A and B are shown apart, each in its own frame.
Chain A
Amino acid sequence: MSKRTLMDEHPTYEELTRDFNWSIAEKDLEYHHGDNINIGWYCSDRICNKGNADKTALFYEGFGGIEKKYTFNDIRLAGNTIGTFLRKLGITDGDRVCLFMDRVPELYLSFLGILKIGAIVQPLFSAFGEDSLFVRLENAQTRAVITQKKHLSKVRKIRSKLPGLEFVIIVDAVKPGELKKGEVLFSLDEAEPVEHFDIFPAKAESPSVLHYTSGTTGQPKGVKHVHYSLISQYLTTKWVLDLHDEDIYWCTADPGWVTGTSYGIIGPWSLGATQCILDTGFSSQAWYRFIEKYRITVWYSAPTAIRSLMKAGDEVVKNFDLTSLRHLASVGEPLNSEAVIWSQRVFGKPFHDTFWQTETGSIMITNFPGMKIKPGSMGKPFPGITAAVLDPETFVPLDEPGKAGLIAFRPGWPAMMRTYWRNEEKYREKFVNGWYLSGDRSTIDNEGYFWFIGRDDDVINTAGHLVSPFEVESALLEHPAVGESAVTSKPDEINMEVVKAFITLKPGFAPGPDLELDIMNFIRKRLSPMAMPQAVEFVDSLPKTRSGKIMRRVLHAREWGEEIGDISTLEND
């Protein structure tokens, strides 16, 4: 039997948006202005209080067939237990606690525990190399890192440069004799569960999560979110992802990125939904088997993963029973029309594209379940969101359908970032004429659908991960052979775009395939696998302006087969 979707209840988009008010979510969550609103409590204790303590909150499957299952009472107790452990260390409200782990249960449960004591969660992608880790921990002045033994060596390499990092908490086996100063073991399985816990009385504007995102220039920025973000995250999960009580939900995003927390923890658990986590590397067979095994009904994934599944072919799909799937959605990069059409053919359902950012905290433009999908379109703004495409010169909304401009939003939705951590100036730069500038460009058609064009800056979106060319160029300069570098993107069938580096060498170094590989590995280890140039081109010189500034856009245009544009300032054309 098909479930009623949002659009069944509100037949038109106009009707859906007409009387919208965020108080719909507040009412659902029984929240009143001025109440405590601790996300950790809402995601666990409240669900238990509503009579769902024994309902499964999490099915976990790790590499090697490890399976674990947690009820909502289990995650409530785990949050209490981790919170108690942190408090005993002296961690308190406002402290930054970094999660640097694979997608193990301790990551999800620590997220709740940190919030329950009022500390700020700083999730970082576990594939980050030591340099990427360092700049983010230093900027956040992080007090504790929770990690696994397999990632400990990266933390140890930078520890001496981080005097504020008092504790490194390891959640799996390290022999006590091998621990260094400030390192502590914590085993959730062995800890005594804490039944009663004094939860921090977080208010709407109390800080909750600090996600880092890359920009064109400067170091990564810490995007500060608050507990009130729950309001947007709850309602968008309910309406856009269409989660119902009986659903089994799978968000494939890693909580090192905002999708993995907003819609991989907060959204589903605040709704009391059962979710599944697969902590293994990607393979089409493994993913389909996972959907079949857990009878997943709602699946939120990313275009790169969808394109990888497309590449694996239609035949493999036929080996699995995927009839449980009811609703599919996608986020991270533009979802190409071919992927939407393919999913309709092989799964009998289209992927619904959603658009939002680390800074927005929740879905902003989307294809609702039941709404007419135009393959390749981002959809329409979520109710309560005022979105526009602005003229890049005047920052005034463009009324003419099909005209390209900057995607912008009127501030004021609950999950919007509150600042960039220790960088109020950069935060203010994101606003012009009362609009928040997303940094992306699109058009709007005559039916109000948004169509993504690309970034408005040099940031590279590879497989949904933003990579700063500046960060890669800075790291490249530390390689002994690199004289100068310019980093841009090149098209990629699966990842949409990947990093490409143009490099001039210092005297005494000769270009060659071994040096190319050495440079690739250098960046992979220092920054991350996503930031690793997948192509290196050795050049005699880089295009520069007469004032000496490297013109990345010339190289970008060449890679993408685009018009180079005005090169009157080019020094060495």
Chain B
Amino acid sequence: MEENALNEMKEMILKYVIKEYVDDDDVEITYETPLISSGYVDSFSMVSLLVFLENKFKIKIPPSKATPEAFDSVNNIVALVNQYLNK
């Protein structure tokens, strides 16, 4: 995937995560911020994030790959999405 497109994807996912899962305006969320282990996104909410990714990028992520580790930062999510975009 081209760098520009990758950056756009990262930015879009970051914005979505902030909008949907972070209530505190003063918290700074970056591409590296842990999302699951920090408690911003819990295991139930992870399902809605998964649906967002599958809808947005027209991909299907197998349940076995939708692990807390794979969702633990925007960078990890982008890496996961990228695997299935290229298939």
A281 CB–B CB distance under 8 Å = yes
Interface size class of A (residues with CB under 8 A): 20 to 34
B39 — which chain A residues lie within 8 A by C-beta? 63, 102, 279-281
Given contacts A63-B38, A281-B38, A283-B68, contact A154 B48 (CB under 8 A): no
- State which of A353-361, A417-425, A517-525 sits at the interface with chain B: A517-525
Q: How far is the CA of A180 from the CA of B51 in the complex (A)?
A: 37
- State which of A210-218, A321-329, A528-536 sits at the interface with chain B: A528-536
Could you mark each residue 21-65 of chain B with 1 if its beta carbon is under 8 Å from any beta carbon of chain A, else 0? 001101100000011111111111101100110110000000000
B20 CB–A CB distance under 8 Å = yes
Closest partner residue, chain B, to A148 (CB atom): B24
B11 CB–A CB distance under 8 Å = no
Closest partner residue, chain B, to A149 (CB atom): B24
Partner of B51, one of A64, A150, A520, A529: A520
B51 — which chain A residues lie within 8 A by C-beta? 513, 516-517, 520
Task: Count B-side interface residues using an 8 Å CB cutoff.
Answer: 27
A513 — which chain B residues lie within 8 A by C-beta? 51, 54-55
A286 — which chain B residues lie within 8 A by C-beta? 37
Q: How far is the CA of A69 from the CA of B68 in the complex (A)?
A: 28
Shortest beta-carbon distance from B40 to chain A in Å? 8
B27 — which chain A residues lie within 8 A by C-beta? 150
Closest partner residue, chain B, to A304 (CB atom): B43
Q: How far is the CA of A286 from the CA of B26 in the complex (A)?
A: 26
Residue in A151, A280, A517 with the greatest tally of chain B CB atoms within 10 Å = A517
Partner of A282, one of B26, B43, B48, B55: B43
Q: Are A521 and B48 in contact (CB under 8 A)?
A: yes
Residue in A153, A283, A462 with the greatest tally of chain B CB atoms within 10 Å = A283
Q: Are B23 and A151 in contact (CB under 8 A)?
A: yes
A315 CB–B CB distance under 8 Å = no
A280 — which chain B residues lie within 8 A by C-beta? 37-39
Shortest beta-carbon distance from A506 to chain B in Å? 21
Main secondary structure of the interface of B (DSSP, over half): loop
Q: Are A534 and B68 in contact (CB under 8 A)?
A: no
A550 — which chain B residues lie within 8 A by C-beta? none
A29 CB–B CB distance under 8 Å = no
Partner of A524, one of B38, B40, B45: B45
Q: How far is the CA of A463 from the CA of B44 in the complex (A)?
A: 10
A184 CB–B CB distance under 8 Å = no
Q: How far is the CA of A63 from the CA of B33 in the complex (A)?
A: 11
Shortest beta-carbon distance from B19 to chain A in Å? 10
Could you mark each residue 61-74 of chain A with 1 if its beta carbon is under 8 Å from any beta carbon of chain B, else 0? 00110000000000
A149 — which chain B residues lie within 8 A by C-beta? 24, 26
B48 — which chain A residues lie within 8 A by C-beta? 517, 520-521, 524, 532
Q: Are A63 and B23 in contact (CB under 8 A)?
A: no
Shortest beta-carbon distance from B72 to chain A in Å? 8
Q: How far is the CA of A514 from the CA of B20 in the complex (A)?
A: 14
Given contacts A513-B51, A517-B51, A517-B52, contact A530 B68 (CB under 8 A): no
A127 CB–B CB distance under 8 Å = yes
Q: How far is the CA of A494 from the CA of B67 in the complex (A)?
A: 12
B20 — which chain A residues lie within 8 A by C-beta? 521
Q: Are B69 and A283 in contact (CB under 8 A)?
A: yes
Q: Are B38 and A282 in contact (CB under 8 A)?
A: no
A520 — which chain B residues lie within 8 A by C-beta? 47-48, 51
Shortest beta-carbon distance from B42 to chain A in Å? 5
A532 — which chain B residues lie within 8 A by C-beta? 44-45, 47-48
Q: Are B41 and A281 in contact (CB under 8 A)?
A: yes
Q: How far is the CA of A559 from the CA of B24 in the complex (A)?
A: 38
Given contacts A281-B68, A517-B48, contact A150 B55 (CB under 8 A): no
Could you mark each residue 288-319 of chain A with 1 if its beta carbon is under 8 Å from any beta carbon of chain B, else 0? 00000000000000000000100010000000
Shortest beta-carbon distance from B21 to chain A in Å? 9
13 contacts between A and B (CB under 8 A): A63-B37, A149-B26, A281-B36, A281-B37, A281-B42, A281-B43, A282-B36, A283-B68, A520-B51, A521-B48, A529-B42, A532-B48, A534-B44
Other than the given A521-B48, A524-B44, 6 more pairs (CB < 8 A) read: A149-B26, A150-B23, A150-B24, A151-B23, A282-B42, A513-B55
